[in-house]
Structure 1
Amino acid sequence: MQITKLSVIIPVKNIEQEMSGVLRFVAQQAAGLETEFIVVDMGSSDKTVWEAVQFIKEQKLRGFVIQNGDGPVAAALNTGLQKSSGDYVTFIFARRLYRDFIQGYYETAVRTSADFVFGSLNEEESNAAERRISKVVFQEPGTQYIKNILNNIVHIDISAIFIKRKFLFERQIRFFDTCAHGYAEEFVYRCLLSAAVIAQSSTILKRDNLFELKRGKLKPVGKNIFQHTDAMLRILDILKTNHREDAELIRLFERRKLPLTVMNGVDILLQEGMGYNAVRGYLRVAGYDKLLLTGKQTDRDLKRRITVWRAVPWMYKVKK
């Protein structure tokens, strides 16, 4: 019986022209590794499903296509996870492709038996990651990794991670499937807070310019952008319940992460044409204005944005 080492989950919608290229790109990276390819279609109205099925059949790949209906990406990812069978899972997004990370990540996963693997952004990070793995000093707690993320020391992109499938199912970690904004960051934080072993691969991440789907004009998201804030509030609840001894991380969330997320939502609404008073009224009714707390954990630029927004909103300038 052939054991599946890796499940590649690819959520797609209306990319019939790019579908075969994306699958070819991923298949080349996974060559030699027992891999299954799970394409989850989110209600395509073109020939995306047909192109995916044909490519998998013609290239004799292990895999299948699931038609998941016209729902959010988070729901598609949950469906892919439920149908997966690999030792590890990874997520591939047509709009954010990274080159040549699969083999390096898998080697790191095997060396460390990690629940969660992410990559390096540059040579310095790569060398440091290799030293940590060689010295078996990779068991930093997930709370420390989150602090490093909030302090811009570590960067983790859901488009380039490996997660042990058994770990996800044992800890019952899923995407919040009705959430369209912030679901990826929430999922990563949940994984970091539950993982016994987290490892940074020395593999340096590089975006692909050839196969990556170029973004068109994004549709307005409106007040749904504050789903991201709700996602971060759910993480804060976990911190206060299970990690209340880590006052530093809780303060970082309350004084930096949450106010930044709220202000980014404000910027989106203003860019989409909602008036200052309407935005302020919505924040007040929804209670998000109470999250605009500042302290020594808040950087100077964010403090300035919040101060101007509160005092003279008509002079507030959207952050580019």
Structure 2
Amino acid sequence: MINDIAISVIVPAYNAGNHITRSLESLLCQTFTSFEIIVVDDGSTDDTSSVVESILARSTLKSTLLHQRHGGVSRARNFGLEKAVGRYIYFLDSDDYIDKSSLEKLLNAAFNSGSDCVMCGLTKVDETGKVYWCSNRCGFPNEESISADELFPLLVRNTVYFRVGSVLFDKGTAVTNELHFTNGCTNGEDTEFFLKMFFHSRKVSFVDEELLNIHAMKGTASRRASLKLFHSVGSLRRLHKYLLQHGVDDETAQYLEHRRIPQTYVQIIRYLARMGIGFRNYLAIARHGQIRAQIKKFERLGEDRSDRSAELEVKVLLRFPVMFYLYARLFR
């Protein structure tokens, strides 16, 4: 049976008993069956395990429920990746779901093009299931497939948009390059992992359909006002160091250091202010010496409105942090 597994679908789950059903059912109704499901229960304290067991018992698909002490989504994904037997890997978050032909279309694109990674479009749905945003091509070039070398600068510049569940990738590339998620990282861990994956890939394809549906739930890690948001900066700094060690071009390295990392600091501080972090705590962050030193590395690299807007935000935050706080609070 192992030799018939083309894709390993890994679903990390923590206290997901009240929402994982739709995710797993979207896997059970796929249009082909040459895949396995690996659910990693990350030390849940609710009925996640029993819900998962009940759902998977209804299918003849190869499936595994793994258990670990609570260690976070990165550790859970690493555990699943370690146990996966498929040629390709697909991560699906427990609150998201996919169309019934998603895996088949992603796999066909990988086979037909000989790509190491395949991306697809996605939609975002609210808590009622209503679609409120569609990605279209996510900024991916008009070609069906391009070299990873051509795509990588666009990914670093965030011109091409992706999420964990919008990428199918070759397991061998990850194993050969010893890629894994940074344990303990709760924000930006996917960006760090997948940009390393794209960096080591040869060819990337795109399926021009919204195959992934992201369920926007209140209280998820990406929506809370938490200092853990700064993990996103840590992931970019680790990525920058890694790419330098592996011979990335100077232009890409400079963009990370002088644009994306400083701008990410600013975006997080603005978000924390908007979400109601206390003024004293805000000032402590905005005036923190190491944070200010990183933000001061910002360089405007173009003349577009977005470039000028980013530069203005940086200047206001550095020179007038109180004004920046008011701006963030008033223009939410």
Q: TM-score, normalised by structure 1?
A: 0.86
Letter in 2 for 1:187: F
Within 1, Cα distance between the matches of 2:204 and 2:117? 6
Alpha-carbon distance in structure 1 between the residues aligned to 2:281 and 2:20:
41
* Residue correspondence of structure 1 range 56-75 to structure 2 within 5 A: 56-75=56-75
1:1-320 to structure 2, matched below 5 A, reads 1=1, 2-29=3-30, 31-99=31-99, 100-120=101-121, 121-122=135-136, 128-130=142-144, 133=145, 138-141=146-149, 144-195=150-201, 197-208=202-213, 213-218=215-220, 220=224, 222-243=226-247, 246-275=249-278, 278-282=281-285, 285=288, 287-292=290-295, 293-297=297-301, 299-316=307-324, 317-318=327-328, 320=332
Q: How many Å separate the matches in 2 of 1:81 and 1:314?
A: 45
CA distance in 1, matches of 2:262, 2:13: 32
Secondary structure of the 1:179 match is: coil
How far has the Cα of 1:297 moved from its partner? 1.8
Whole-angstrom distance in 2 between the partners of 1:218 and 1:139: 34
Q: Structure 2: which 5+ residue stretches go unaligned?
A: 122-134
Amino acid at match of 1:22: S
Is the 2:15–2:47 Cα contact (8 Å) retained in structure 1? yes
Inter-partner Cα distance in structure 2 for 1:228 and 1:302: 18
User: In structure 1, the residue corresponding to 2:235 is in which secondary structure?
Assistant: helix
Q: Is the 8 A contact 1:104 1:201 kept in 2?
A: no
**Which 10-residue stretch deviates more, 280-289 or 182-191?**
280-289
SS in 2 for 1:106: helix
Letter in 1 for 2:264: T
Change (3 A) 1:140 1:16: closer
Cα pair distance change 1:23/1:97, threshold 3 Å? closer
Question: 1:70 Cα deviation (Å)?
Answer: 1.7
Moved more, 260-269 or 214-223: 214-223
CA distance in 2, matches of 1:307, 1:186: 27
Give me the whole-angstrom Cα distance separating, in 2, the residues matched to 1:125 and 1:266. 26
Q: Which residue pairs with 2:126 in the alignment?
A: none
Contact 1:229–1:261 at 8 Å: present in 2 too? yes
- 1:280-303 Cα offsets, whole Å, 9 max, x none, are 544655612212123232611111
* Structure 2: distance between partners of 1:288 and 1:277: 16
2-structure distance, mates of 1:115, 1:233 = 25
Map Cα deviations across residues 241-274 of structure 1 (whole Å, 9 max, x no partner).
Answer: 3235x22212211222101211122123324544
Aligned residues: 306
Residues 214/189 of structure 1: CA separation in 2 closer, same or farther (3 Å cut): closer
How far the C-alpha of 1:227 sits from its partner, in A, is 1.3
Unaligned runs of 5+ in 1: none
